[in-house]
Amino acid sequence: MPVVHLVRHGQASFGADDYDHLSDLGRAQAVVVGQALATRGLRSPVAVHGTLRRQRDTAALALPAVPAQVDGRWDEYDHLDLLKRYATTTEHDGTSRSVQVLLDQALSDWVLDGDGTWSAFSGGVVDALTDLASGLESGRDAVVFTSGGVIAAVCAHLLGLGADGVVALNRVAVNAAITKLALGRGGTTLMTFNEHGHLDPASTTFR
């Protein structure tokens, strides 16, 4: 039974001018998750990531010997644009926790909006997973280096969850965590979500 591991990228650079690059800790997390993947007996793994630098660099550090495919459907949504569109206030104290509160509400409003953009985003993610699964040969596994919102969208789809579920999953997504999917005859099954026991507690981050 083929297995797909969804890996959230290492910590990006919150508060910097360019968010889309790994922090020093994020680079270390990427190496650690690569070590964790190496213990799983991956079978001729296929590696995939989106177009974002933080996803690409996590893949390169975690699986340096595996050439990665690029599929933009695994890209994260633009959280800054989301806040501009849906946040009722832009006031926060500069901490990632205060920004997360604003993002939770904005994400919920987006999922419930009905303007079609959430459906396009989540549908694209599901299509990317479907295409990956259909092209995965028997006896091979895949590792997708992506982002928290994407993983939340996949899991919410598999579990039949609505806006509250998407927000709850997105909120607790840990950097460099692993979510495991099994591809069986009956479809795709969520086996584990957000595994991060390979990370030292002191180096476990959400943003």
Q: Is the pTM of this model over 0.85?
A: yes
**Is the predicted pLDDT of residue 206 greater than 80, yes or no?**
yes
Q: What's the token pair of residue 91? A: 């006031």
Relative to beta strand 187-195, strand 178-184 is antiparallel
70, β-bridge pairs: 49
pLDDT in tens, 14-70: 767 788 999 999 999 999 999 999 999 999 999 999 999 999 999 999 999 999 999
> CB under 8 Å to 181, separation ≥6 — which residues?
3, 4, 5, 6, 129, 154, 158, 188, 189, 190, 191
Helix (H, G, I), strand (E, B) or coil at 185: coil
pLDDT of residue 93: 62
Is residue 70 within 8 A of residue 59, CB to CB? The reply is no
pLDDT of residue 90: 64
pLDDT in tens, 71-114: 999 999 998 899 889 987 666 666 677 888 899 999 999 999 99
pLDDT in tens, 148-186: 999 999 999 999 999 999 999 999 999 999 999 999 988
pLDDT of residue 91: 62
